Amino acid sequence: MQIIEINTHLLYHELEQPFQSSFSTFKARFHCLVEIICDNGIVGWGECLGSADINAAVVKSMSSLNIGHNPLNIEPIWQSVYNQYRDQGQRGPIHTALSGIDIALWDIAGKYFDAPIYQLMGGAYRMEIPAYATGGFRQEGCDHQQSCIEEMVARVEEGFKAVKIKIGFGVKNDIETIKALRQALGGDIEIMIDANHGYDTIDAIKIGCAVEQFNIEWFEEPVIPEALDAYQMIRARQPLPIAAGETWHGRYAIQTALEKNSVDILQPDVCGVGGLSEARKIITLCEVNHVRLVPHVWGTAVALAAGLHFHAIIPPMPICHNEYSPKLEFDRTYNPFRQSIVTKPIEHKNGVVPVPNGPGLGIEINKSMLKEFLPK
């Protein structure tokens, strides 16, 4: 079996209602899929996290290194491609592009061996993943507190037992929003807060101390991801568990963050960290550093499927009668192609999502839908 073609597919949809994290405004949904075609007709799919057009350019640049190779040599391909590009980036687009390629190669391997990816990677600890609803962005031109609470009440009515909202819109505003959200949801729903590195150390510590009383599960990306010493300081000077890792790509960046004791919860994204091959290595780093691993997920059904296979193979740490299961991040913001590009949508039932059980990623791409969302 040989790789004969590597394509990227850009998916684009302009939003009628743009939404905001602490520092960015999402005016469109824009994602990049990777398609790898083999000479025997097997096709694998992957997805890259982050800027879709940059990822597509880097995947294109990497493609010539892979054409003609046996796609089952996933690790040698990963190592040789990364080695060619490591001088230009030990994190960022090199890793996000390589992630899409790596996931597509695992999809091919699964189809070739007629086995789900989680099986090829050593087997599943769980086949149903409890999910949390991600949302609560600030809708442009709307009152954040009101729209955030309405949205999260709806998610709980849908069956989610845990929700994550965006903060980073001012200390006072954020504290009031979190207080009102806890009152609206009652005591049994888990609440996570994500500042998307919109604060400095002083304000992050203020927020963490002020909202502890509202029983917050974790405080995500309080400050910029480069500031590892600040993460360590925030952990020491406020009471909430600190989570981060969606921008720490590759084993070296993550090892550095773990050596600095930056987080209580590490959040690598399969589509950014270097694909499923690298994600599996990150499991070992978390084990030896004794850090909880709860992956980040953001993208289409391809990213969701890859994330579910990753969740399936994360061992409980420790194995015990009352094991902690890492929750699946389930983005509930509007994205018309998230599920329509696959023949069978990945959905939750009462906040629980099954791991796809078919060969490879266990999904089938609806290719005619890809054309519907081509960038204009």
Active site residues: 296
Count the Cβ atoms, other than its own, within 10 Å of residue 67: 12
Q: Which is nearer to Mg ion, 102 or 220 (CB)?
A: 220
Size of the site for Mg ion (CB under 5 A): 2
**Alpha carbons 297 and 75: distance in angstroms, whole number:** 23
Residues 198-237 that bind Mg ion (CB under 5 A): 220
Q: Which is nearer to Mg ion, 47 or 220 (CB)?
A: 220
Q: How far is the CB of 350 from Mg ion (least distance, A)?
A: 24
- With residue 191 as reference, give the H or E element that holds it: strand 190-194
Position of minimal CB gap to Mg ion: 194
Q: Which is nearer to Mg ion, 167 or 341 (CB)?
A: 167
- Which span sits near Mg ion by CB under 5 A: 123-131, 190-198, 205-213, 228-236? 190-198
Q: Are strands 216-220 and 43-48 parallel, antiparallel or unpaired?
A: unpaired
Q: Contact at 8 Å (CB) between 344 and 366?
A: no
- Which span sits near Mg ion by CB under 5 A: 3-11, 27-35, 73-81, 189-197? 189-197
Report CA 137 to chain centroid distance, whole Å.
16
Gap between the terminal Cα atoms of the chain: 36
Residue 329 engages Mg ion in binding (rule: CB under 5 A): no
**Alpha carbons 317 and 185: distance in angstroms, whole number:** 29
- With residue 60 as reference, give the H or E element that holds it: helix 52-63
> Which residues are registered as beta bridge partners of 3?
38
Q: Contact at 8 Å (CB) between 35 and 6?
A: yes
Q: Which is nearer to Mg ion, 194 or 278 (CB)?
A: 194
Q: How far is the CB of 303 from Mg ion (least distance, A)?
A: 14
Q: Which is nearer to Mg ion, 196 or 238 (CB)?
A: 196
Q: How far is the CB of 316 from Mg ion (least distance, A)?
A: 24
Among 194, 217, 329, 331, binds Mg ion (CB under 5 A): 194
The candidate with the shortest Cα–Cα distance to 303, out of 6, 5, 89, 100, is 100
- Which span sits near Mg ion by CB under 5 A: 83-91, 188-196, 305-313, 318-326? 188-196
Q: How far is the CB of 37 from Mg ion (least distance, A)?
A: 33
Q: Contact at 8 Å (CB) between 10 and 374?
A: yes
Residues 101-160 that bind Mg ion (CB under 5 A): none
> Which residues lie near Mg ion (CB under 5 A)?
194, 220
